[in-house]
Chains A and B, each alone.
Chain A
Amino acid sequence: MENWRHNKLAFAVLALPPTAWLVIFFTVPLIIMWVYSFAERGPQGQILLAVNFANYLRAIEWIHLGIIWKSIWIAAITTVITFAVGFPLAMGIAFAPQKWKNPLLLLVILPFWTNLLIRTYAWIAVLRTRGFLNFGLEWVHEKLSVVLAFVGLGGVMGEFQPLELLYNQKAVVIGLVYVYLPFMVLPVYATLEKLDKSYLEASLDLGAGHWRTLLSVTIPLALPGILSGCLLSFILSMGTFLTPDLLGGTDSEMIGNLIARQFSSSRDWPFGAALSFLLLYLTFLILWVRASLAGRQQGPV
């Protein structure tokens, strides 16, 4: 690394154009939003600049607090399930033979590279009333009825009722777990991969079973990666918009949808700006926690 003073011209040529672009088309829009978040909404939805905290206070009104709380709740459940699915997957890859590791990792990342909209749409096709899942269940139901009729219990099963799987909170959680699974698997895999396997061998040699080794050796040692993965999938699910928009129903509006609504049908930009900044502050807080945890991990050792 060279001090910028030694070569001011090269530094300016390299740094100025991208900085200018980012300042104009990223920082300035955020500043405008921040200013709007203190403004007032005029009768036609126009923005009257002002300095008041009414928008922020409105965000913690009961009705909106409910949506924020629901977002946190959905994000938390998503994180737990993502961990439950992602941890075994990461462990399986980390302990796989060397030549299998990269192909398996690629398999985890590959869906992540297909369009978010299409991945979400794919779940609509699976979960809807006439979707693949209900179709499979109906097939099982039919076969079971035949078997039951054969042993003289015909009619016990009744007509097949397709399950209402789509347009509710469960569908949103499934969609979110699906989308953010790689964000859990990758950091957990990274720590498991670096972990000194002789600790696990020592634990097994000293008579602990696999479960005990997992709970008291593997998981504590992999904790930085686990925390990182959990925090990542939490903030990503918190700020989501598309998944609840497509898979959710009236009961599963999240903060992202609330923000989007202020900028479309409700036309209350100042309130939307305030909500957006609340979401940003929360994101920063969690990122800061993650960074300081990572820093502490690297520090003393």
Chain B
Amino acid sequence: MAATAETSRPVRRRGRRRSNPLDYSRKTWMRLTMGGAFFFLYFPIVSLIVFSFNDSKRNITWKGFTLRYYEKAYENSQLHETFLNSMIVASISTTVATVLGAMLGLALYRFRFPAQGPYEGMVHLPIVIPEICLAVAMVAFFATFEIPLGLFTITVSHIAFSIPFVAVVVRARMAGFDRSLEEASYDLGASQWQTFWNVTFPYMQPGLVAGALLAFTLSLDDFVITFFTSGPGSTTFPIKIYAMVRFSVSPEVNAASTVLIVVTLVLTITALAIQSRASKG
């Protein structure tokens, strides 16, 4: 005991001294650079949130705390209506995209099939192509088949670009799955469906929840594709904010934006927490 303590102490000390010059995060210049970068990342959003509570129309100097603009935004019936629209679109799109995305993720995880490379490229394409290209393609598509633009077309487009994201999350979750559990289930006489429902599905669940939350945030946040696929009477929350932003910078917009920021942050952090707990467990 005493001998190990004696030998381990100098080793540890030498190790510490050797790693010291690489301890860049302790250096003042590094801390300043990082501080600057984080300031750049947070200053605009934080000032937007802070000034949504400011009791001044000019929005620049701090005149005291108020919830007036939240009340105003709350009483704005158009904001209400568009928020409801966003929620409808996001809920339907999330439900469908989660089911279809999970199926896709499972298929990609489980099977080897011909033309797999090109197929994977095709299904992941919505993640990588510029949003504006997808947006105008959807417009051209709906116009060709004479489908009137509205909540339906928005939802359909949202589902299309959410599927690959859900599939990626579910597939990543399934990568840690032990296939022998399924084999054991078959050996014990369970059918394919029973095996899926009682063995595979419970393991997949955290991935499913994380994928669904991701799809919900993507849908709630999307502006470009929604902007192009929306028609009269189907304005969503971000589009309403866009219209207000074009008009002027006002504390009411700040208040509405803050609400949306809080909603998406809560959803995202929940998703991250579920994912990290699942990966530990």
* A residues neighboring B (CB under 8 Å): 1-4, 7, 10-11, 13-15, 17-19, 21-22, 25-30, 32-33, 36, 85-86, 88-89, 91-93, 95-97, 100, 106-108, 110-111, 113-119, 121-126, 128, 130-132, 135, 178, 181, 197, 200-201, 204, 210, 235-236, 238-242, 246, 256, 259-260, 262-263, 269, 272-273, 276-277, 279-280, 283, 287
Q: Which residues of chain B come closer than 8 Å to A10, judged between CB atoms? A: 110, 192
| B41: min CB distance to chain A, Å | 5
CB interface residues, B 165-198, toward A, < 8 Å: 167, 192
1/0 per position for B144-168, CB-CB distance to A under 8 A?
1000000000001101110110010
A29 with B140, Cβ < 8 A, contacts A88-B34, A117-B223, A125-B47 known? yes
With CB as the reference atom, state the residue of chain B lying closest to A254: B132
Jot down 13 A-B pairs with beta carbons below 8 A, ordered by A: A22-B160, A29-B138, A30-B137, A33-B136, A88-B30, A114-B261, A125-B249, A241-B224, A260-B135, A272-B136, A279-B132, A280-B130, A283-B128
Q: How far, in angstroms, from A185 to B159 measured CA to CA in the complex? A: 29
* B residues neighboring A (CB under 8 Å): 18-19, 21-25, 30-31, 33-34, 37-38, 40-45, 47-48, 51, 58-61, 100-101, 103-104, 106-107, 110-113, 122-123, 125-126, 128-141, 144, 156-157, 159-161, 163-164, 167, 192, 217, 220-221, 223-224, 228, 238, 241-242, 245-246, 249, 253-254, 257, 260-261, 264-265, 268, 272
Q: How far, in angstroms, from A30 to B22 measured CA to CA in the complex? A: 50
| A176: min CB distance to chain B, Å | 13
With beta carbons under 8 angstroms apart, the residue of B51, B100, B138 that contacts A21 is: B100
| A123: min CB distance to chain B, Å | 5
Q: Which residues of chain B come closer than 8 Å to A181, judged between CB atoms? A: 37, 41
Q: How far, in angstroms, from A7 to B157 measured CA to CA in the complex? A: 32
Contact B224 A32 (CB under 8 A): no
With beta carbons under 8 angstroms apart, the residue of B60, B161, B163, B238 that contacts A115 is: B238
Contact B110 A201 (CB under 8 A): no
Contact B110 A14 (CB under 8 A): yes
